[in-house]
Chain A
């Protein structure tokens, strides 16, 4: 199966170092991935979709058409984008009337949605290469206690995502194990990080984050790992804000799972741009050196 990357907006436009880690990790593992054609915003399942479902379908279907034209499946770098593209496909493949209607609009830009590409989250493809990753580990991340945050749109709605257990997910923990680290259990593992509510109520958004951080702290985590740029921003950008507000001292370094994998596979940390993280990661790098 061949893939092209679907980058989304947040990673290329705000967190390019995460993109670097994904590309380097896949290169090292030996999975070839091409580049996306001229894509737009997915669009955001927590944003535009909430305003107008029809526009959500049209823009999502246009993106899928580009992959159909290139004969490549989608390898998405973001959980939100994965959910959007899978949802659009799910709806249009099931509802012929809707597909006809959306195609009548796509005709304006010379496109036609057929429904013959598959969409995968990058962590799913990593999981499918679990044995390869284990074989290639050069520097196991021994004794590193990692709180994996699978997040919501990586898993749910399970009818559409059709991947991992939506209530007791384990794929992320298996990836953490594969690189020699220790995936810890914590009580709120399955909870939302709160990021989507930044758009409607920042206080609730931060309270949700704080609950998660507290639960990770109680479980003795050294650091956090995520598979979605929205979750990444929530954890890396907002710990300080909580500390300021609540007089707490959360200071968990936050990694994309591909950053940890890249380090374990022996990729130079300077190449990964780990210095662009807001919460410094140096103590973790020392610990695993």
Chain B
């Protein structure tokens, strides 16, 4: 049985008060291209309902609906008659999934690792550097990796995202 977790609900409301404004009209789901493609299996209204009720297990453990399927297009945010910041609330839920050590799609971890190691999500390879020269593009200097490591150390990024597995 799903238990209502008021603390969890309050945590989300503390992060984004707009959650409280939702009256479950479903405009978000009718504006959502992913809900359309998945015939409603992905359903933003449902995620907001579960957040309002504090159904932490469903959202965080079972991930039903799967909040990682939000494509961040923000159509729901634009269409919502109550100005609920759905995409931002979903971001907070995803942050919680990550911090609590529940599974999340591997590609996110791969990107995070690249940023931790090289300060960039995509680094310049030798063939691309040659192509840049061929196109007459200037040499670009990117961030000093030590600076990035210091900052991400201060936010405990590696620990939060469980880069090396574990809870």
Asked whether B121 lies within 8 Å of A47 as measured between CB atoms, the reply is yes
> What 0/1 readout, one digit per residue, does chain A (1-29) give for beta carbons within 8 Å of chain B?
00000010110111011011001000000
> What 0/1 readout, one digit per residue, does chain B (137-152) give for beta carbons within 8 Å of chain A?
1101111100110111
Main SS at interface, chain B: helix
Asked whether B151 lies within 8 Å of A198 as measured between CB atoms, the reply is no
B3 at the binding interface (Cβ < 8 Å): no
Asked whether A51 lies within 8 Å of B143 as measured between CB atoms, the reply is no
Which chain B residues lie closer than 8 Å to A36 at the CB level?
140
Asked whether A58 lies within 8 Å of B151 as measured between CB atoms, the reply is yes
B30 at the binding interface (Cβ < 8 Å): no
Asked whether A14 lies within 8 Å of B128 as measured between CB atoms, the reply is yes
A108 at the binding interface (Cβ < 8 Å): yes
Chain A residue nearest in CB terms to B106? A199
CB contact list, A242-289 vs B, under 8 A: 271, 273, 276
A71 at the binding interface (Cβ < 8 Å): no
B160 to A: closest C-beta gap in Å: 5
Main SS at interface, chain A: helix
Which chain B residues lie closer than 8 Å to A47 at the CB level?
108, 111-112, 121
- Interface size for chain B: under 10, 10 to 19, 20 to 34, or 35 or more residues? 35 or more
B38 at the binding interface (Cβ < 8 Å): yes
CA distance A53 to B150 in the complex (A): 17
Which chain B residues lie closer than 8 Å to A106 at the CB level?
151
CA distance A58 to B143 in the complex (A): 14
Which chain A residues lie closer than 8 Å to B152 at the CB level?
55, 58-59
A233 to B: closest C-beta gap in Å: 11
Asked whether A52 lies within 8 Å of B157 as measured between CB atoms, the reply is yes
Residues of B within 8 A of A (CB): 33-34, 37-38, 66, 68-69, 71-75, 77-79, 85, 87, 91-92, 94-95, 98-99, 104-105, 107-108, 111-112, 115, 119-125, 128, 131-132, 134-138, 140-144, 147-148, 150-152, 154-155, 157, 160-161
